[in-house]
Structure 1
Amino acid sequence: MNKLVLVDGNSIAYRAFFALPLLNNDKGVYTNAVYGFTTMLLKILEDEKPTHMLVAFDAGKTTFRHETYGEYKSGRQKTPPELSEQLPLIRELLDAFNISRFEVENYEADDLIGTLAKQASAKGWEVKVYSGDKDLLQLVSDHVTVALTRKGITQVETYDTEAIAERYGITPKQIIDMKGLMGDSSDNIPGVPGIGEKTALKLLKEYGTVENVLENIDSISGKKMKERLEENRDQALMSKALATIYTEAPITLDADEYVFGDYDKREVVKLFKELDFKSLIDKFDEDGTKTEKQELKELEFTKVEEVKDEHLHSPSAVVVEVLEENYHQADILGFALVHEKGRYFIPTEVALQSEVFVAWTKDENQEKWVFDAKRAVVALGWQGIEFDGIRFDLQMASYLLDPSLSSHGIHDISERKGKGNVYDDEAVYGKGAKQKVPDEKELSEHLVRKADAIFVLKDVLEEELRENQQFELFQELEMPLSVVLGRMETTGVKVDVEQLKQMGEDLHERLATLEQKIHELAGVEFNINSPKQLGEILFEKLNLPPIKKTKTGYSTSADVLEKLAGDHEIIDHILHYRQLGKLSSTYIEGLLKVVHEDTHKIHTRFNQALTQTGRLSSTDPNLQNIPIRLEEGRKIRKAFVPSEKDWVILAADYSQIELRVLAHIAEDEKLMEAFQKDMDVHTKTAMDVFHVKEEDVTSNMRRSAKAVNFGIVYGISDYGLSQSLNITRKEAAEFIERYFESYPKVKDYMDSIVEQARENGFVTTLLHRRRYLPDITSRNFNKRSFAERTAMNTPIQGTAADIIKKAMVNMARRIEEEGLESRLLLQVHDELIFEVPREELDTMKKLVPDVMEKAVELNVPLKVDVESGDSWYDAK
């Protein structure tokens, strides 16, 4: 039997947005609504297994209902831009799944769903509707059931005719009459004032319809009730009409068009990668399907049994093959060399046991071209071999030319440049659980093809870099940085495992104490981690005001609890309990899992060619994410210690680097003055915005100024600011307006950079890093507004990223020139972490800020705070 699933796209997206905290991916794109929508979609596909499927969207703000009642839906708050910007991504997601989507001018999604449900049930199809809107219950019939989203995003309550009768005591069609009498504040349907759900249901159980109720006003008890119904006759009938889903919309059930079946898993996974949905990728792509191999031109090469001078040449394209999973295990699969004299595959053992090859690898004067210099440096570093003489990195060149591309693999670059003669890695190795190394014949050919592609593409990409004025950025910054990062990864950072374990035990004790305290305050023992039990304790036993409530219980999410803080002593303890629980499971246990068994260090991986702004990120583990707002979180840094006796940790942190870059780029006198006079910039902003003297700035004023200062850099909206300051959107909008009045040149910069982006199609940092913004001229408001916000932010965030990268390269060079033993260990946000012999501490305390503050010259001073101690924690 055919099964049609119809989804109310706007309703599910809206619920997902407000059910989840604002999330960004590494490109700065908001993704919480897309993530929630995706989890719901995957659950629907798993539970329903539809043969046909369609997602309906509202086409615009006005529909035929506005002709009847101009105030229809007028009470609704404007959709936050953070949600609007995600709707195109949701449509992109549906396209990746090959799921039909539809919108029709002048009609709501409900009307499209109602029309198709009617047509499908007439054909005897089974129909399931998903929405968060109770109006759709009127569609329920023998063939149609409706699932209403309830708790969170994936939990639903399914209604058939029996369930509606049990819940309301009426038929599905009478849902319209109920709305006619009681109205609907969310759609601004007036109904009859003073009649709520209970009264409406009572009247309908007796009289059946709105029309019958109005015909029998005289027999209805209660003088006030009669008056209300008499006075609002027309309004009741109009409300019923407004609430009626139109089932004759101009859309026809097309069995072929709405069929749901095959889709390309790789397209979905590719989109998940772009959106940074790591957990969904793992869940979705467990089978590790191999990409089909295409036919390629033959390539002749020689397998080397013993490395001789004739096999080595300068320049050479070199492949040092290491699988992603074995990145820090030193499992090199093999080597390939291609140069003007030949193509060679060298087995791992042959290469590493050859003094000739190792000497060539270390020789700075032997020019090498590679793909992913950092990975090659790390792989050989684990073998105790330095990899020098790297002059070109194909991955890095591709990334700089267009960081928005989802893949910078050799195969993808070759295809884009029309020089494809190399297999995709997945076609050779597979992926996920099914990944495996092929036999030597297949492996050797693959590696040589990769080396050959590097050799062929090098001049092409270098020429493009020169045309873009990016060659200096490539050669002077990113290329040397890849070697610096590779050596940092190989060096690793020492972790005191026993101390971490002790912290874990201490946290467990703290959690037990908190649990006891919470149970005392509740007057009963219960499972704090159970939202259902917690909700009953807070809102029924302790009678706290429920902020969000659904049929399945009370919401006890963090935002709800934060709003209740101060209403009862128990709330702060519960919030603290949750924070400590996350620290214990995610960070203490998570860090213990990635301590290398041989080195007893953590060897995090720095992602150099990932973010569109140029910022570095780290994985395995992500050291950017260790929470430091909570003292217990900061204390985790105590476990990061020097690897040598009588050494110390030194931490150097750029102070407010992005605001300094903004001051430089915008050339705003007031903002520049704050930094030139070394004032507290947030106090200065509060003074300018609130028009008060320094001594009259309150902590609340400074907090608001700080939120705007950092928010402006990210193109904050009134909605975003209202969330962070817990104020109304109107107050937030007024605050932003006052900010721009105080700093007019910041506003001028933002307007001019958007205009520049429109003209060029991209924006650049001070060091010519580019970010392309194809949506800057889009006719779609949501896509265009996101591109505009990105245009404002990228030159600031990207320049800050360039500055700290330049500082890393310069510091590594100076340490070598000065003959110091000190080592650069980590980069976290705007901070560099070193381990330093105690006798070099005074030297480094002068050298580090000097080098970092001179990395790039701005018209405001860069400022670096330097601290040292026996651990990373003590260095703060």
Structure 2
Amino acid sequence: MLLSLDTEYSMDKNPAPEKILAFIQLYSFELHEVLIFSPSTFKQLAEPLEAWLQKPTSVVLVFFGNTDLVLLSKNLFNSQPLKEFSGHVFDFFLFFRMIHCDQRVNNFAHWARITGNIILDKTLQKQNWVEKQLTTQDITYLTEDVHIFKYFVAYVRNVLPLNLTNSWRDETKHNLVVLSYQLDQVLIPSFVENTLTGICINQDALVQLTHNLSQKYDQTLKKLGLSQAEFQSNKQFTAWLTENWPELLHKGWPQTATSGQCSTSKEGLYKWIYSSNSTFAQLNALELDASANHTSPKNLLSLLEEDNNPEPINSFFQQDEMQFLTSYLSTKVLRGQSTQCQTLSKHIEPTKSTLHPQWMIDGGDTGRITAKEPAIQQIPRDLDFRSLFKAKQNHVLIVQDLAMIELIIFASLAGDDNMLDIFDQGQDLHIYFASIFLNTPYEKLFQQKTVNPNGFKKLRNLMKNVNFGMVYLMGVKSLFQRLIEWGIDYDKVESVHRAWRNTFNALHYYDLCKAAYSVRSTGLFNNFHLITTIRGRPKRCSEDDGIQEFFNQSSIKASVPSIVNFPIQGTCADILKTTVRVFLLLKQKSLVEGELLITAHDEIVVQCPSKNAVETDKPLHTLLTSIGNSILQSAIDRPIHIKVESGVGDTWAEKA
């Protein structure tokens, strides 16, 4: 029993952005009939829809359905998510995105064209639907939007018999529809509930943080000698730079593609400063000052000294130029943080002091859960921002983080016994590699955690940059870009790069990815190269993703395409999603208390009554470790020991 659902709404931006539901469209596959409901008839739909959902074979079909189901819950069921949604919703956006993640466009109109050869005119979608008298054209548009689902259903029926071979477990086959349901579809009701419930925000603290950042922003602008208009306008900034720093123009300050003005893009500046056409290409050509404080493996230990913050080594820019560039980029960061504060403020529901983000279960190319309105996953990790997110009254937040999970997944896929042994022994991988590179006992370096915590943190962060760069097969130049702020010259970065490759098994992982991707798929994937996560989530790429370059490489020099990143980051997403799925099952059986509040990268945040904190924290911790271990051990014949870092408290900052 199938029923396709779509809604039309308009935005009300005062006082905070809110979607106002105007029409609900339903198409019954049994009756071959389209029904259109306006606000005056919404309540008439509530009872029969709820009763219909209780039938075992009923399925509601949606496309990017979080918004539709949230609006339905608000207007028909008093903002209470229907438990009947669980197991009775199928989102074609999630399905198409999982099996065709190489597609640059995954919108409704695209798939209408692909599956039904129908060209949709979506211009009507943006009109003001509230209190609108429907025209014949409008009715045709509303009808067509839910009628097209029959082509989506036909597509799924065609692929239903097809299975997918796992890249890491040759004997394992995956049914595409079942895989989509298990990894993504089953989570839909939870994230509808999440959007409806919202996340509590400390508005007073947000106002104070916004004020503090604004003050810092103004101070740095004053120090630079720039007005806000000059800082934000390409044209005005070009005039200012021409007058004050003409030498930077001569050295190739990036320009906008259209107007030829000086670009104010932070990303463009980083690319210029750290590109092969400027600083780094000339490091070997220019004669470095022999008296410069170049960091050698031995004096890298000086990073453990208090308040040591070495200046970047750079022979292309003068010292005053580097100081200006550093200050300018710091100001860009401050402005970005100020903008994030303003975005949070814009989306707060003022009467409740809550945020209600729109969650995207497959928002990232690797299957990671993301959010928008606002983008929760982009919130900085520092305490000032995370402490803004708080538990509601008489509740606590349980924050759990899969520690170094991407490194553990890499070691499992690469079969790197050395790295896995380090994790098994409970050692810190970042300090371990520091001990290898510096030829200093691990215990001596780790003692600095209590003797000199600031210096320990600096060294650990440095090696963290190395480890997380190298597992994704970063080349020497890219690694140098990561480490320039530490004052390490190019030769020493080459030494770090070589030492890591000699210690761990990156090349073997690279070869495994190439071998897995060399097998061309058939059937649905139409002779495309394909790679999966350990759990089976597929990734295929078009030729413009650098695949040919990837296969032609005799060594790792050029940039490596996403197929090297995908098995690691996608497996991480699968672990989190599977954990959420099992947690929800336990919650349905009243075995745990709490509601999923946030998932960001490798973290899960659950809100529960204060009195149930221990009873919720321990099962969630057990789920994360046992599910992660189980998934990883299916790809490698040895025990895996995942570590989960957790915190319980009033705010998200309890584990930051």
TM-score normalised by the chain length of structure 2: 0.72
Match of 1:502 in 2: 208
CA contact under 8 A between 2:399 and 2:652: conserved in structure 1? Answer: yes
Distance in 2 (alpha carbons) for counterparts of 1:360 and 1:457 = 28
CA distance in 1, matches of 2:262, 2:105: 43
Residues in 1 aligned to 2:128 and 2:362: alpha-carbon distance in whole angstroms: 22
Equivalent runs, 1:374-523 vs 2, <5 Å? 374-383=66-75, 384=77, 386=82, 388=85, 389-390=87-88, 392-417=90-115, 419-420=116-117, 424=120, 426=122, 428-429=124-125, 439=135, 440-464=138-162, 469-511=175-217, 518=223
The CA deviation at 1:574 is 6.4
Alignment of 1:529-608 (within 5 A): 530=231, 548=251, 577-584=331-338, 586-597=339-350, 599-608=352-361
Map 1:126-137 → 2, pairs under 5 A = none
Structure 1 CA distance for aligned equivalents of residues 90 and 464 of structure 2 = 42
Measure, in 2, the Cα distance between the counterparts of 1:414 and 1:873.
Answer: 44
Map Cα deviations across residues 412-443 of structure 1 (whole Å, 9 max, x no partner).
334434x44x552515536899xx99635224
Tell me the residue number matched to 1:716. 474
Cα deviation, residue 536, structure 1: 9.1
Provide the residue aligned with 1:220 in structure 2: none
The alignment status of 1:674 with 2:364, answered yes or no, reads no
Q: Deviation of residue 549 (structure 1)?
A: 6.7
Shift of 1:854: 1.8
Match of 2:643 in 1: 863
User: Could you say if the C-alpha distance between residues 618 and 565 of structure 1 is closer, same or farther in structure 2, counting changes exceeding 3 Å?
Assistant: farther
Distance verdict in 2 for CA 1:545–1:515, change over 3 Å: closer
Looking at structure 1, the residues matched to 133 and 161 of structure 2 have their Cα atoms a distance apart, in angstroms, of 35
Question: In 2, are the aligned partners of 1:606 and 1:617 still within 8 Å (CA)?
Answer: yes
SS of residue paired to 1:331? strand
Q: Which amino acid aligns with 2:576?
A: I
Q: Which amino acid aligns with 1:866?
A: S
1:83-94 correspondence runs (5 A): none
Task: Name the aligned partner's letter for residue 740 of structure 1.
Answer: R
The separation in 2 between residues aligned to 1:734 and 1:432, in whole angstroms, is 62
CA distance in 1, matches of 2:547, 2:203: 55
CA distance in 1, matches of 2:226, 2:66: 51
Matched with 2:500 is 739
* CA displacement at 1:624 relative to structure 2: 1.7
Residue by residue, what CA displacement relative to the aligned partner does 1:177-212 show, whole Å, maximum 9, x if unpaired? xxxxxxxxxxxxxxxxxxxxxxxxxxxxxxxxxxxx
Code of the residue aligned with 1:429 in structure 2: it is: Q
Contact kept? 1:606, 1:618, Cα under 8 Å: yes
1:862 counterpart SS class: coil
SS of residue in 1 equivalent to 2:348 = coil
Counterparts in 2 of 1:836 and 1:352: CA distance versus 1, 3 Å: same
Offset of residue 705 of structure 1: 3.4
Counterpart residue number, 1:818: 590
With over 3 angstroms needed to count, the CA separation of the structure-2 counterparts of 1:549 and 1:797, relative to structure 1, is closer
Return the letter of the residue paired with 1:770.
P
The offset of 1:605, in angstroms, is: 1.8
Alignment of 1:758-769 (within 5 A): 758-760=518-520, 761-769=529-537
Q: What is the deviation of 1:809?
A: 1.5
Query: What CA distance in whole angstroms lies between the structure 2 residues aligned with 1:550 and 1:475?
Result: 50
CA deviation vs aligned residue, 1:765-802 (integer Å, no higher than 9, x gap): 01111111343998963796679532222111110111
Corresponding letter in the other structure for 1:346 = I
What letter corresponds to residue 583 of structure 1 in structure 2?
A: Q
Q: CA deviation at 1:546?
A: 10
Amino acid at match of 2:28: V
Q: CA deviation at 1:469?
A: 3.5
Q: Percent identity?
A: 17
Q: Could you say if the C-alpha distance between residues 717 and 817 of structure 1 is closer, same or farther in structure 2, counting changes exceeding 3 Å? A: same
In 1, Cα distance between the equivalents of 2:123 and 2:262?
49
Q: Is the 8 A contact 2:423 2:641 kept in 1?
A: yes
| Structure 2: distance between partners of 1:663 and 1:526 | 48
Q: 1:654 matched to which residue of 2? A: 402
Amino acid at match of 2:504: Y
CA separation in 1, counterparts of 2:328 and 2:254? Answer: 23
Deviation at 1:654, TM superposition (A): 1.0
Are the structure 2 counterparts of residues 392 and 555 from structure 1 closer, same or farther at C-alpha, using a change threshold of 3 Å? closer
* Structure 2: distance between partners of 1:677 and 1:657: 16
Aligned twin of 1:847: 619
- Report if the CA contact (8 A) 1:665-1:749 is conserved: yes
The aligned counterpart of 2:432 is: 684
CA-CA distance at 1:471 after TM superposition = 3.6
Secondary structure of 2:627's counterpart equals coil
Indicate how the Cα distance of structure 1 residues 465 and 410 shifts in structure 2: closer, same or farther if over 3 A, else same.
farther
Match of 2:6 in 1: 320
Distance in 2, Cα, partners of 1:370 & 1:550: 51
- Separation in 2, partners of 1:768, 1:492: 32
- Structure 1 residues 331 and 512: CA distance shift in structure 2, 3 A: same
TM-aligned CA deviation for residue 548 of structure 1: 4.1
State how far apart, in whole Å, the 2-side matches of 1:752 and 1:798 are: 16
Query: Which structure 1 residue ranges, 5 or more long, are not aligned?
Result: 1-314, 520-524
- State the AA in 2 paired with 1:725: L
Alpha-carbon spacing, 1:580–1:414, altered in 2? closer, same or farther (3 Å): closer
The yes-or-no answer on 1:367 pairing with 2:121 is no
Residue 590 of structure 1 deviates from its aligned partner by: 1.6
Question: What letter corresponds to residue 641 of structure 1 in structure 2?
Answer: K
How far is 1:403 from its partner?
1.0
1:622 is the counterpart of 2:375 = yes
After superposition, residues 70-469 of structure 1 pair within 5 angstroms as 315-322=1-8, 329-349=19-39, 350-360=41-51, 362-363=53-54, 365-372=56-63, 373-383=65-75, 384=77, 386=82, 388=85, 389-390=87-88, 392-417=90-115, 419-420=116-117, 424=120, 426=122, 428-429=124-125, 439=135, 440-464=138-162, 469=175
Q: Alpha carbon RMSD of aligned pairs, Å?
A: 4.0
1:95-149 per-position Cα deviation (integer Å, ceiling 9, x unaligned): xxxxxxxxxxxxxxxxxxxxxxxxxxxxxxxxxxxxxxxxxxxxxxxxxxxxxxx
Q: Which runs of 5+ in 2 are unaligned?
A: 165-172, 232-236, 256-260, 274-310, 446-454, 521-528, 633-638
Using structure 1 for the length normalisation, give the TM-score.
Answer: 0.55
Q: Please tell me whether residue 752 in structure 1 is matched to residue 512 in structure 2.
A: yes
Q: Does 1:834 align with 2:592?
A: no
Partner SS state of residue 329, structure 1 = strand
2:497 maps to amino acid: I
Distance 1:771 1:324, change over 3 A: farther
Quote how far apart the aligned CAs of 1:862 are: 1.7
How far does residue 851 in structure 1 lie from its aligned partner after superposition? 1.4
Rounded Cα–Cα distance in structure 2 between residues aligned with 1:588 and 1:665: 39
Provide the secondary structure at the position in 2 that maps to 1:405. coil
Contact 1:758-1:776 within 8 A present in 2 as well: no
> Where does residue 549 of structure 2 map in the other structure?
781
Q: Residue 566 and residue 874 in structure 1: after superposition, are their counterparts in 2 closer, same or farther (change >3 A)? A: farther
Are the equivalent residues in 2 in contact too, given 1:401–1:465 (CA < 8 A)?
no
Question: Which whole-Å CA distance do the structure 2 matches of 1:486 and 1:600 have between them?
Answer: 19
Change (3 A) 1:716 1:572: closer
Larger CA deviation: 819-828 vs 424-433: 424-433
Structure showing greater relative contact order (alpha-carbon pairs closer than 8 Å, 6 or more residues apart): 2
After superposition, give the CA deviation of every residue in 1:575-620 in whole Å (9 maximum; x if it has no partner). 6555434322x11112111113454321112223443211222221
Distance 1:441 1:789, change over 3 A: closer
* Cα shift at 1:847: 1.8
Residue aligned with 1:494, SS: strand
Q: Distance in 2 between matches of 1:753 and 1:695?
A: 35
Structure 2 SS opposite 1:335: strand
- 1:872 corresponds to which letter in structure 2? W
Give the counterpart letter for 1:596 in structure 2: E
Between the aligned partners of 1:660 and 1:324, the Cα distance in structure 2 is 46
Paired residue type of 1:832: I
How many residues align? The count is 542
- What is the CA-CA distance between 1:692 and the residue it aligns to? 4.0
Q: Is the 8 A contact 2:59 2:88 kept in 1?
A: yes
Structure 1's 550 and 455: CA in aligned 2 closer, same or farther, altered over 3 A?
Answer: closer
Counterpart of 1:345 in 2: which secondary structure? strand
